[in-house]
Structure formats: structure tokens, C-alpha cells
Structure 1
């Protein structure tokens, strides 16, 4: 990096620019969700503390970005697992975690959220007023990543309210020029739609305005079952996806291996607080259960999201890989068999944990998403119901990277081939779980790709966020 660039950064942010070889730099750069991001070393970490500083920083860096002299990464809390999504070798990482604020509107119908917040801080504030919003399921995940990078996100309330991004009524965005604009259904609506699932392709989002609603007790938790129950769980999930009409339920299910043992699990919620809800009986009655591990109870939205925070730790070697299918018991059983075969070849890796998860996108969820004004994913309710399938390996040693990534990537390819042969593979790729090599925007369909291209050309005419901000998934990857 040139001395001119260094001068540009410090002229805007002064001591808020961190450089290698300092304790503050090491602390900031070693705080990502995965080791893959921690191992990338930027030349500078810029830590703005206000929208004005972000605006001035981007404006000052613009000539360096446009000329190709510098490249940026934009970081929320840094939860996307693959390397380079929110960090950049020899570039400038803009760390937005200091942009805080959770401000309820006067009529309490919406909440303004700073891009550096986590869902725990949002729910903690809203809970004081008997309110919540349809945000992320894991409390320690950042707001920005969940709403933008993570495909619009899923919520405990998604069946009734659509994807998490469908509850965003307004974005505040710093464009490549440094200009700050608002995007909503009434103002810059094309940008508003594009940002709902369109990732970091148009600017730096500094705040979100989201709908709020009254909330009360929630019934749910995690139920663990002994090995051998996966077929029962698959049958229950497919039945739920195809037939359940209760829009106040949400489930995530899967099989997992760790520490030499296998279990199956169902994370389930009835958000109106109906204890032992009839809609969830198909899961609560599966036997045998591991009673001492079960956490089913009446609790709060905040409490359940904080519970899910404990299911992962920062700094590990782990990845997500995903595909989307139509619900089918025989296909899911074939997936499970192939997962077991891959597990057998990899479980000798030090610290190996491996989960095969599946969660439904019901017709009601997709219809309620469409009713909220639309988003970039462009999934027709007629396509539902769907199952999002997730493979999540975790391991300790860099020496095992190649064999594990290769083995799990091959397993995903097998899943896709099996589903395609049965005519049950859907184009959609849930970006929250997508591996870096996926062409995710093709999964949005041709119409959405055209809209995203038009939005990029309008709001970022020089292509700064396509060329100078290479992390994540780029809408330009699908252009001719």
C-alpha cells in the first residue's frame, strides 16, 4: 500500500486505522467466526464510528478504488465462514462494528438498527417494550450479515412474516461516491428490493429500519433423539413442510456427529406460546429421546436466540455448503445414507464435527414473503414447499482442510445429482449456507438477475463494488 493511501485513511479516521504489528490490529483481525477469515491479513483495518465517517472514508478512497490501487472488504460482525467474504489480503478492511444504535420509533411500529449491532442487543432493547422483530435466530450473529450477506435470513417468525429482510422498511446506504441515500418502498425502491438479498453489491449499508410487533411467551427449544431416529425425523419434516397450516411454528432438524457419537435433533418453536403445540406433535412424540439434553420450555424470543448462540464458537475451521430441494422422504433418506458414507471417511480428523441439517420453506413462508413487497430471491410461492439442506463440517487442523473440503464438496455434488435425477432440485441457493464457489445469483432466476444488474449499473456505475470490493458473491458473476 502506498504512503498516499495511508495518508488518506488517517486524514479521515486518525487513530481509528489499525496496522499490522499492533495489539489492536491482532485483536480485531482474530475475532471472526472462522479461522479462514482470521488467517487473512489486510494492510489496514479502518474502524469508523459514525455514518459521517463511513461517507468521508468511501469518498476519500474512491479514486484509489476506481484506479485499482486499493481494494476493500466490508465487515459487520464477520460471521460468513469462508475466507475473503469480509476480510481482504493486503487491502483495507472496513470494520463497522462500532456503528451502534437501537432506536424505537415514536409510534413503536419500527426500529432503527445500526449496522454494528447483533440480534441479542436488538431483542434486548425491544423486549423492554413487549416487542420484537423478525430478525436472526442466533443472537450473537450481526444484523448486517443476516439481512444482507446471509440471503435475507430466516427468523423464528418467518412462517408468518417471510424472510428477515422482508421486515426491512428502509436501508441507509453509503454509495461508492460517498453519498448517503435512503432506500424504501417509496424512495429508491429499486435499490430497496435489490438490497433485500442482494448482498454487498451496491454500497455500504449503515442502518436498517425494521417492522416491530408485539410478542409474548414462545414455546420451544431443542429435542435430541438417539441414533436410528433419522428416518422418523425425515418423515416428520416432509409431512410438516407439505401439510402443516400453523403459521406460528418454525423448525430446524438434522443429524449430527461429534465426539464419537451420533444424534438427531429438532429445534422447534410455537411463537404464540402454545405449549406442546399440536402442530409440533410429529416431532415431540418421536422416540427414543435423550431426556437429559432436552430444553423444551416456555421462554422468550431473546432467550431462545441466545440458546442457539451456544451451538457454535468463533475461530474454528468450518464451512457451510447447501442445496434446496422439494420435500421427499426417499430422497432425504438417500441423502442421509450418503452423509453416513462421507462421515466414515472423515471422522478420524482431529476435532471433527459434522452435521446434516434440513429446514422447510413452507408455502405460507414464501407467500408471506411475496406479500411483504418482494425481494431479490424471487421465489414464487408456487415453488413451495422447499427444504434447505445444510452440510456443516467443523475441524481443528489446517492439514485436514483439503480432504474435508473435497469430501464434503463431493457429497454436496452427489446430493444435487440425486435430487436432479428425481426432478426435485430447486434453483435457489440459500446464501447464508452457500460455499464460495457457488453461482448463487443464478439461483435467483433470470428476472431477478436483470433487476440486480440494472440496480448495480444505476447505483454503482463505475462498478466499484464489483471490482474493488471482491468479497462475497458478486452480481456481475452472471453477466455476459
Structure 2
């Protein structure tokens, strides 16, 4: 029965290939998302079709319409659509784009975002979180009792998502710029929260290996989040990663595999690289501050040939530090009683060697701003992981005065002529 209505609903497709693709796509979407997917003649389908501003848009007939209620629904839908060749889709907010096909489609899938319309003001009334499918009128009506407003559409029936993606002219624009200039971030908080919950757990799962990565491309001015979540027991979906897995994503390559296969990564092409590092106490709010500092530092910097910034966050749990005592100790200077922390690796890769000095300067500015903010908030740890440290950093000194002096005693005993100190230019010196 599902197959029959799906094929019938795709009768508007222009050729047999599109018909089959649409049928497959709608069938899979309904299997995954149930009643959130509607077909022609159903009330939800008709409600979306009747809500368009222009007759050109309303005249198109999608094979099925998805009305997601969560960001996860959207992520699941896009993942499904992406696996079906020939399955095309449209995205509808409040439907104020007049041209046919901008927010609706013939024979494909229309994703009606209007169910994602939540509006929440933060505690100090400085930031409002708005669902992509909300109308600006809904936002203004919510904010009115607080005597605050936001740079949004002049016509309240226009949608938040569409206006913002296009730039967005507001009554406030002469004062604050385009609507898009006033966006703080596009839903990254969920990743920070999930990462922090894992890192700060007093019962850190010892089978957990996690790297939360954020990549920024200076040419396209886009961010990409990529998490490497590895569990060292043969469990496909361990509970420790449940919160992270619930964050909307465009792909998930979870599988049971061997370390030999997992570690067999493709070689990176020859490029210029730099590393720098710092260690912090867990804090969701501070991770957002790190992102804001990086975004504001990187946004206007685009050297010839471009640069990709790769920021990785890795847990440094106290349980990991406890093993040193069982094996006679080490000189790294981090102790279990310090509590759980996380290491940040700030790296950059770029093709043009003429940009070396400029990239290094920007990286130092970003790290200095982050460390200053962390220190002011009592979140900066002294430890600098030597394998991630920049040449200008002092990882050996970060081990503590006592451990540093011990290393110097070893140097004096085994290298009295300072051969390794003076005849080996590279690396960090005592």
C-alpha cells in the first residue's frame, strides 16, 4: 500500500527515471519518519501547498512533503535523499520566494521547515535562538515583552531561514548591518555540550577515544564539524556517544573494524603546516567562546591560495593520568587530582609558502586571545602537550619547575658537553 501511494504521488515526475527515484525516496523517508511524510490529498500535504505566497510555487506538486519537527529529522532526511540517485528536493521556510522551484518541486521531495519554529532568549537577553522555519513575526512577538528586538525581515510573514541565507535587509540594517551579520552561530552548541558531558564525567568511560574537530576554509568561509568517536570494545553504538550521535549530521560511518584498518589513512598531500596547543578545564560556555574567537580572527584572513584551519579537542581525563603512578611516574606534570581536562590542537595547512609568516602570525593571535580569556575565567591549565606545541611555546616548562629541573639534571649527567643541546638545532631545549 505504501508503494502504491508513493508511485501515484510521484506521477508528476517528468520521466521514468525521476518517477522511480521519487518513489524510492518517498518510501524510504516514510519508513524512517512515518507520519511526518505526507502524500497528495492528505491534510498535511495540502496545508503546505496552500501556504505558498505565489501561485507559481503553489502550482508545483512534489511527490511527497516532509514536515520535520527536529533538526535530527532534517539530517536523517538529507542522508536518505543523498543515497537515492535522481531524487531531487526543495526546502521551504515561509514560502515567500516567488519563482517556481525555489521552495517547492515537481515530483521530488519538499521539506517544509515551518515545524522548526522555536524561539528562546538567553538569560542576559543578548542572544535569541530561533528555529530556521519560524516567521519573523513570531520572533518579534516573542521578543516584544522583553523590550528587545533583532535584525530580521521587515515583512513579518517572511521566514527566518530564507531571509538570513540571502543576507537579509532589516529596519535595523543601517545600525547593525545585514541580518546574516548578526548571527552568532548556526547550532554548534549541541556538539560542545555532548563533548563536555563526555569529558567532564567523573566516571569517564575508559574505552572512549574522542576527537571533536572543527575545520574552517578561508576561501569558502565555511565551517565543518567532524567527530572521530572511537570505542575500544566491539560495541557499535555505545551509550557514551549517544548524545553526540543525536546531533544532526550529514553522514555517520560507524562500524566495527580493526585498528589496523582504522589507522590506514590516506597520506596528506604536501602542504605547509603548523601546530599550537593549550589545555583547558571543561566548559560548554568556554568552548563557544573559543569558537567565537577563532571565527572572528579567521573570517577576514584569506591569504593567496587559501588556508584551512583545523581545531581539534581531545579529552584528558584524570583516569588516564592515574596510570603513571602504577609504572613509576612520568615527568609530564599532570596529576589525577587536577581533574578532567581537554587538549586543544590548533593547526593550519596551506599551499602557498609565501603566506607562512602571515598564517603563523594569525595563529599566534588566535591562541593568545583564547589563552587570555581562559586565564581570566580560571579555565587555563598549564600543560602544553609537546607533540602539538608550536616552536614558540614552552612545553617542557609546562611540566612544572621540579620536573624541569629533574630533566636538566639528567641532561647534565648524560650530556655534559651539551651535544644534543647545541648540535641538534630542532626541537625543544632544556
Decide which of 272, 295, 299 is 1:317's aligned counterpart: 272
Decide which of 214, 222, 226 is 1:255's aligned counterpart: 214
Aligned match of 2:226? 265
Aligned match of 2:75? none
> Aligned pairs, how many?
243
Q: Secondary structure at the match of 1:254?
A: strand
Decide which of 373, 376, 379 is 2:328's aligned counterpart: 373
| Structure 1 segments (4+ residues) deviating >6 Å | none
Deviations 1:190-249, CA, capped at 9 Å, x for gaps = xxxxxxxxxxxxxxxxxxxxxxxxxxxxxxxxxxxxx83422111111111111532111
Higher relative contact order (CA 8 A, sep 6+): 1
> What's the offset of the Cα at 1:391?
1.1
Question: In structure 2, do the counterparts of structure 1 residues 444 and 409 end up closer, same or farther at CA, with 3 Å as the change threshold?
Answer: same
Aligned match of 1:208? none
> What's the offset of the Cα at 1:355?
1.5
Q: Secondary structure at the match of 2:404?
A: helix
Question: In structure 2, do the counterparts of structure 1 residues 274 and 454 end up closer, same or farther at CA, with 3 Å as the change threshold?
Answer: same
Query: Aligned partners of 1:383, 1:323: CA distance in 2, in Å?
Result: 15
User: Is 1:286 the equivalent of 2:234?
Assistant: no
Which structure 2 residues correspond to residues 394-433 of structure 1 after superposition, within 5 A?
394-433=349-388
Which structure 2 residues correspond to residues 48-447 of structure 1 after superposition, within 5 A?
228-243=186-201, 244-258=203-217, 260=220, 261-287=222-248, 289-291=249-251, 294-306=252-264, 309-310=265-266, 313-447=268-402
Question: In structure 2, do the counterparts of structure 1 residues 372 and 314 end up closer, same or farther at CA, with 3 Å as the change threshold?
Answer: farther
Higher Cα radius of gyration? 2
Q: Secondary structure at the match of 1:319?
A: strand
> Conserved in 1, the CA contact under 8 Å of 2:215 and 2:225?
yes
Q: Secondary structure at the match of 1:473?
A: coil
Decide which of 392, 395, 407 is 1:452's aligned counterpart: 407
Q: Secondary structure at the match of 1:387?
A: strand
Question: In structure 2, do the counterparts of structure 1 residues 409 and 364 end up closer, same or farther at CA, with 3 Å as the change threshold?
Answer: same
Q: CA RMSD in A?
A: 1.6
Q: Secondary structure at the match of 2:383?
A: coil
Structure 1 residue ranges without an equivalent (≥5): 1-226, 476-480
> What's the offset of the Cα at 1:314?
4.7
> What's the offset of the Cα at 1:410?
0.5
User: With structure 2 as the length reference, what TM-score do the two structures score?
Assistant: 0.54
User: With structure 1 as the length reference, what TM-score do the two structures score?
Assistant: 0.49
